Amino acid sequence: EVQLVESGGGLVQPGGSLRLSCAASGFTFSSYEMNWVRQAPGKGLEWVSYISSSGSTIYYADSVKGRFTISRDNAKNSLYLQMNSLRAEDTAVYYCARMVYSKSGKTNYYYMDVWGKGTTVTVSS
Amino acid sequence: DIQMTQSPSSLSASVGDRVTITCRASQSISSNLNWYQQKPGKAPKLLMYAASSLQSGVPSRFSGSGSGTDFTLTISSLQPEDFATYYCQQSYSTGVTFGGGTKVEIK
């Protein structure tokens, strides 16, 4: 069964750090691009970060750039999100999501087809 | 950044109703548009990709259309399990963005 399981969430004080993990199983993790997406309480979905299958290409949302670092260990089938200088507005459920694409002619259409159940991060004093 | 605007933000409908949700992009995104369903306390679930392609396992009552800046998700006959929040998402740019969501509630 294809599965993503997040862990590492918790309560942290403003300015603190936290490292989230996402364990992948049931597919060849090293072949897939991955994302972190978050959802603040009662709010919509917000993309956080992207990493290519090899880890050579990385993108961040402006809201986390310079504070968060995405990484992966393909040997351990794991995705990570190092979160530093945390703020109250980072409080959210954090999901990892697999990204795949469908090819039509010369165009690749990307979408997130597998999601974990999420891990909750609360930033509060 | 490409902004995605969904409407309505919420709607009330009855079982068996035809429901249409719209999503507008702030610039042309071709057909790089996906739809997700999310139920309370659960992770999002992919429904449609590339604007009109149905994800495997998703009931055929769901359909999507549009290209450029205007897109729609249609549920042809609303079922009890379809009451949820629906999000559109553009994958045209490297920083993907989601719409604000449309909550479908029971009338």
The pLDDT tens digits of the residues spanning B41-62 come to: 999 999 999 999 999 999 999 9
Q: What is the pLDDT of residue B92?
A: 96
Q: Is the pLDDT of residue A61 over 90?
A: yes
A68-125 residue pLDDT tens: 999 999 999 999 999 999 999 999 999 999 999 999 888 999 999 999 999 999 999 9
**First-to-final CA distance of chain B:** 36
pLDDT at residue A19, as a whole number? 98
pLDDT of A18-51, one tens digit each? 999 999 999 999 999 999 999 999 999 999 999 9
Instruction: Check if the beta carbon of residue B86 is closer than 8 Å to that of residue B34.
Output: no
At A104 the pLDDT is 87
Distance between A41 CA and the closest CA of chain B, angstroms: 10
A6 in Cβ contact with A57 (< 8 Å)? no
**Euclidean distance between the first and the last CA atom of chain A, given in angstroms as a whole number:** 39
Q: Consecutive sets of 10 residues in chain B, 107 residues long: mean pLDDT of each?
A: 97 97 97 98 98 97 98 97 97 95 95
- Kindly provide the residue ranges of all beta strands, DSSP E only, lying in chain A, ordered along the sequence: 3-7, 10-12, 18-25, 33-39, 45-51, 58-60, 68-73, 78-83, 92-104, 107-115, 119-123
Q: Are strands A119-123 and A10-12 parallel, antiparallel or unpaired?
A: parallel
Q: Which of A34, A45, A46 to mutate to test the interface with B (most CBs of B within 10 A)?
A: A45
| pLDDT score, position B80 | 94
A65 pLDDT higher than 90 = yes
Structure tokens at B26: 């702030």
| Binding-face residues of A in 65-84 toward B, CB within 8 A | none
Of A114, A22, A121, A118, the closest CA to residue A73 belongs to A22
Where helices occur in chain A by DSSP H, the ranges are: none
Pair of tokens at residue B98: 């989601």
Q: Do the chains contact at B53 and A45, CB–CB below 8 Å?
A: no
Burial group, residue A1, by CB count within 10 angstroms (0-12, 13-18, 19+): exposed
Please tell me the predicted confidence (pLDDT) of residue A68: 98
Q: What is the pLDDT of residue B55?
A: 97
Residue B88 in tokens: 């559109």
A114: left (phi > 0), else alpha (psi -120 to 50), else beta?
beta
Q: A29 — contact with chain B (CB < 8 Å)? A: no
- Residue B97 touches chain A, beta carbons under 8 Å: yes
